Amino acid sequence: MINTETQFDKAIESCKEIFLKKTKDYGTAWRVLRTISVVDQIFIKALRIRNIQNLEERKVDDDVQSEFIGIINYAVIGLVQLKLNNPVVEELSVKQAGDLYDEAVHIAKHTLLNKNHDYGEAWREMSQESFVDLIIVKLLRVKQILNNDGKTLISEGIDANYTDILNYAVFALIMIDEGKHKG
C-alpha cells in the first residue's frame, strides 16, 4: 500500500538536508529576498524543468530532480519570508533556519494530507509536465497578487500558492522516486 505521508517525509528529508548544507555554506543570505525575487527564482527553475522536458539534447547537466528540490526549498524560503514579514540582511542560525523550515513544511504537509484525502490521490495519475505547468500557473498568480498590492478579492493568498507549489514539487519527487517520471 502506498503511504503518501511517508513518501512526503522522505522527499522533504533530502530537500532539508540540502537546505541546511547550503545554509552552512552561505548563511541565510536569502533573508534579503523579497517575494518577487523568490517567485522569480522558482519561475527560473520551473522553466528550466520545462525546457529539459522539451529538449532532446542539453548543454548543462542539471537534472529535473535537483530542480524540483530547488523549487521546494525556494517555496519554503518564500513561506518563511512571509512569516517573518521583513526581508532584511539578517543572519539566522542554522538551527533557527531549520526550525523555520520545519514549520513551513509542517503546514504544507497538513494541507497536502487534507487535499489528498478529498481528491483521492488524483495527483498519482498526473504527468510531470502538469506539475510544472501548475507550478508556473501558481507563480503567475502570485505575480498578479503582487500587482494588486498583495490583496485578493476571493482567491487564496501568496502563502497558499507557495504551499501548493511545494506540494506539486513533492509529488514530482515522489513520482521520480517511484520510477514513474524521469529524473
What pLDDT, in 10s, does the model give residues 104-152?
Answer: 999 999 999 999 989 989 999 999 999 999 999 999 999 999 999 999 9
Q: What is the pLDDT of residue 181?
A: 85
Pick from 170, 29, 18, 38: nearest CA to 105: 170
Looking at per-residue confidence, does 35 or 53 come out higher? 35
Q: Is 112 domain-assigned?
A: yes
Look at residues 175, 101, 177 and name the one whose alpha carbon lies nearest to residue 131. 175
**Crossing angle of the two packed helices 94-119 and 64-84, in degrees rounded to 10:** 110
Q: Three cell numbers at 38?
A: 523568490
H/E run at residue 66: helix 64-84
Domain count within the chain: 1
In a domain, 183, yes or no: no
In a domain, 142, yes or no: yes
Q: What is the pLDDT of residue 45?
A: 97
Confidence grade of residue 58 (pLDDT, cut at 50, 70, 90): low
User: What percent of the chain clears pLDDT 70, i.e. is strictly above it?
Assistant: 96
182 within domain boundaries: no
Q: Looking at residues 12-29, what average pLDDT do you find?
A: 98
Question: Does 93 reside within a domain?
Answer: yes
What is the predicted pLDDT for the residue at 1? 43
15 pLDDT exceeds 90?
Answer: yes
- pLDDT at residue 153, as a whole number: 93
Residue range 151-168: average pLDDT? 96
Look at 71 and 53; give whichever has higher pLDDT.
71
* Alpha-carbon dihedral angle through residues 124, 161, 70, 123, given to the nearest 10 degrees: 0
Q: Residue 111's closest CA among 174, 176, 167?
A: 167
Is the pLDDT confidence value at 35 over 50? yes
Whole domain around residue 153: which residue ranges? 4-177
For the chain, give the mean pLDDT: 94
Q: What is the pLDDT of residue 6?
A: 95
**Is 28 a member of any domain?**
yes
Query: How far is residue 177's CA from residue 84's CA, in Å, rounded to a whole number?
Result: 33
33 assigned to some structural domain: yes
The answer to the question of residue 110 being in a domain is yes
CB 176 within 8 A of CB 182: yes
Quick one: DSSP state of residue 92?
P
Q: What is the CA radius of gyration of the chain?
A: 16
